[in-house]
Structure 1
């Protein structure tokens, strides 16, 4: 097993040691060479987020950061099975220790690798608590892609005149936020008064470590939508709302269309088995989550026709 990575919510040491090259420092809002985020590790910008959801976001952030930092060998579908170890700062260790084996297995299903998880208790600095998604009756994942756009339209059409929804977007590239905002505004223009809030989350591991060395850059990043899901669940947890996950059913199953689209080239984050696994794990740590998948019986073409 390789030396573990660490997601730390502590400040960067004045004189970082060699361990900093395997540490992802997320200790507040800001843009640094090693980490950029417009939310702190206690998610105060979302409101009073449930503690287990805070932990889940931290775990998902650590997974994606490590996933991006360990190179695969081989090409196309002939990639190796990596061995990745991470330690994560959480608010409470005991709940996550109790589901460690299940979570490791679920991550293996997601990325095709072997995962080793460890947790340490570290709360992080206090954060101001914002008020978001006021008046929303549901939260909708909204990447800005076709399925999420259809999902937002369906949700707004269903709620028009009776209730509102909040959209949650995640981005790491600068070109996405204007597109996401424009589509959210257009949806609200078609169904006025249905948008309670649009929460756009900028969150990504940087290019350099706190020591100034470069992280390795792996491009497959099959775990990135796990973080998107975790952010959506965190926003939904504030007022115990359901989270809509708009993804067409064919993409959720994601069968390989050719021999070169197997394994980690095909994402599984909305696969029914994965979503069930997340639901079961969250229930065991004390969080009942509800996430309808309104497009699960549709193909991409049918979604577009809607």
Structure 2
């Protein structure tokens, strides 16, 4: 008798739970709707419009012209695009590698238990990250000024002749990289230091008890556990470096010649100097595809790690 009565009750309870699940799913969708609409308005709509422009002839002084398909994307076959792509790759590779090595070394140092005044050092090292790129660029433009800058003045004290840091094609990109490293290393340091602080101590203590030295612990214990944090840090910094624009604009305007011109600055030059909005949109989408492809590759690596 009790079994017979319990079966309808269980069926009724299952229907009730199913109804509650449907109701909960509906309310989740309702509450997410404003966020979806805002993202569609501020992200999807401009992105789709830019894609639309990249498929049309659009000169700012004449307005939108005819649909020309992928003709604007033929710019990627030009020698000029190849040149700015090479500069972008060099800049990205060098700043990411240099900043990672400096940030990882400082993060390991800050994580040492014997270090005193750790919080003070961390605050000082975070200061560059708090400054805007425009302020950083203006400060270094004054410091590297060939006639009045303090850098050439210091070099003169030791007998080194003054250098045209931003006017010499052989020095301009290296100088931009130096400024970028000074400004952006703080972010990588913060992420890597947070990753080190979050690691469990038991595997490290076990390795130390087994007789492993500091280098062996770093190589075989710390680095494998820290790998996801390292990959995320590299991903974020690579994406930012590939889109480098503000420091380039303020420091060199892509010069001298095109020795420091990146893809982002090239898109700006096409759109706002040559007024070819269609080609500028096409170059921007080429950069977007490259960034998305790099992101997918690194996410796959993170998933397999």
Q: Could you say which TM-score interval applies, normalised by the shorter chain?
A: under 0.3
Q: Which has the higher helix share?
A: 2
**TM-score under structure 2 length normalisation:** 0.21
Larger strand proportion, structure 1 or 2?
1
- TM-score normalised by the chain length of structure 1: 0.21
Rg larger in structure: 2
